[in-house]
Amino acid sequence: MRWIYDLHSWQLMALVALFFLTVNLIGTLLVRWWKHTSRSNHPSEKMEVSSAFFENHGVYLSILVGLLAVGVYGNMTESDDKVHAEAVAASALNRCFSVYPEPLQSTLQKQMREYLRHVVETEWPQQQAGVAPKTGQPILQAMHQNIIRFEPTTRGQEVGHADALEAFRHFSEKRRERLFAIESSIEPLLWYVVIAGAVLNMILVWLMDLDLGNHLLYGSINVFFQAALIGYILAMDNPFMGELSVDSQPYTNVLEELDRL
C-alpha cells in the first residue's frame, strides 16, 4: 500500500472518494433490485428500522473517525517536534565542540556537517519510503570516538568535555526518538474496523425506501463525507511519507547555520 503515498494528497482523497462513490452506486442499485424482486410487504417498517440503525451507527462511526483524525494529526505534530528537537540538539552539540583544541574541533564540526547533510540527502528519502535508516550511525560512532579519546588538561576543558558528552547523549537520544517515529501509524485492525463501519453505514442507507434520485443523492453525500475523512487520515497516517509529511527543513537550517561559521 506504500504506492498511495506517491500520489498528491488531492489525488489520494479523490481516489478514496471515487472508490466509495462507486461502491455506493453499485450497492444502491443492487439492493433496490433485490427489494423489488423480493416484493417486501412491509416497506415502511423496514424504513423505520433502517433509519433508526443508521442514526445510531452514524453517531458511533463519526466519533470513531473523528478521533482517528485527531490522533493522526497529533502523531504528525509529535513527529515534527521530534525532528526539531534533534536539529536543536545537533546545533547545541556543535557549540560544545568549541572547547576542544585544533585540529579536533574542526574534525568534530566537519563530522556534524557531514551527519546533517547525510540526514537530508540520504536518510530522508529512506524515511519517505517507510524504511528506518541506519546509514548515519557510523558517522555518529566516529564522532563519539573522537570525543571520548580526548584527554582534558585544564579545569575548563574538563567541564567543557563533560558538557559535550552530555550533549552527545542527548543528541543520540533525540535521533532514536525520530527513528522510532518512522513506523508509527494506525494499527491495521483499527483500519478494518473503520472500513467495516463505513460499509455497514452504506448498507443501512441502501435498505431505506426512497425514490432512485433521492436514494443516490442521499447515499452519495453520506459516503463522500466519510471518504473525505478517511482520505485525510490515510494521507497523514505515516508522518514521514507522502505529500503531507514532516520535512527535513530543520536540519537544512542548522546546516546552513554551521556553514556560515
All three cell numbers of 164: 559535550
- Residue 111's contacts (CB-CB under 8 Å, 6 or more residues apart) are 139, 142, 143, 146
Decide: 30 and 241 in contact? Cβ < 8 Å. Answer: no
How far apart are alpha carbons 54 and 65 in whole angstroms? 16
Residue 104 confidence (pLDDT): 93
Q: Does the pLDDT at position 83 exceed 90?
A: yes
How far apart are alpha carbons 117 and 255 in whole angstroms? 7
Q: Does the pLDDT at position 48 exceed 60?
A: no
Q: Distance of alpha carbon 210 from its chain centroid, rounded?
A: 40
Residue 46 confidence (pLDDT): 52
Compare 193 and 92 and report the one with higher pLDDT. 92
Q: Does the pLDDT at position 39 exceed 80?
A: no
Mean pLDDT, rounded, for 172-201? 86
Residue 47 confidence (pLDDT): 53
Q: Does the pLDDT at position 43 exceed 70?
A: no
Mean pLDDT over the full length of the chain? 85
Mean pLDDT, rounded, for 237-252? 88
All three cell numbers of 230: 478517511
Compare 38 and 253 and report the one with higher pLDDT. 253
Decide: 72 and 186 in contact? Cβ < 8 Å. Answer: yes
- Residue 239's contacts (CB-CB under 8 Å, 6 or more residues apart) are 75, 76, 79, 80, 181, 182, 184, 245, 246
Q: At what angle do helices 155-181 and 137-148 cross, to 10 degrees?
A: 160
How far apart are alpha carbons 213 and 211 in whole angstroms? 6
Could you report the per-residue pLDDT of 126-170, keeping only the tens digit for each? Answer: 888 878 888 888 999 999 999 999 998 889 889 999 999 999 999
Nearest to 119 by CA among 244, 255, 243: 255
Residue with cell 556553514: 259
Residue 51 confidence (pLDDT): 58
CA dihedral 120, 123, 125, 129 (to 10 degrees): -150
Rg (CA), the chain: 27
Compare 132 and 2 and report the one with higher pLDDT. 132
Nearest to 210 by CA among 200, 196, 220: 220
Could you report the per-residue pLDDT of 94-108, keeping only the tens digit for each? Answer: 999 999 999 999 999
Describe the chain by its helix, strand, coil percentages, rounded to 5.
80, 0, 20
Q: Does the pLDDT at position 239 exceed 80?
A: yes
Q: Does the pLDDT at position 238 exceed 90?
A: no
DSSP one-letter string for 4-42: GGGS-HHHHHHHHHHHHHHHHHHHHHHHHHHHHHHT-S-
How far apart are alpha carbons 93 and 116 in whole angstroms? 12
Residue 119 confidence (pLDDT): 94
Residue 57 confidence (pLDDT): 60
Compare 250 and 1 and report the one with higher pLDDT. 250
Could you report the per-residue pLDDT of 9-35, keeping only the tens digit for each? Answer: 888 888 988 999 999 899 989 988 887
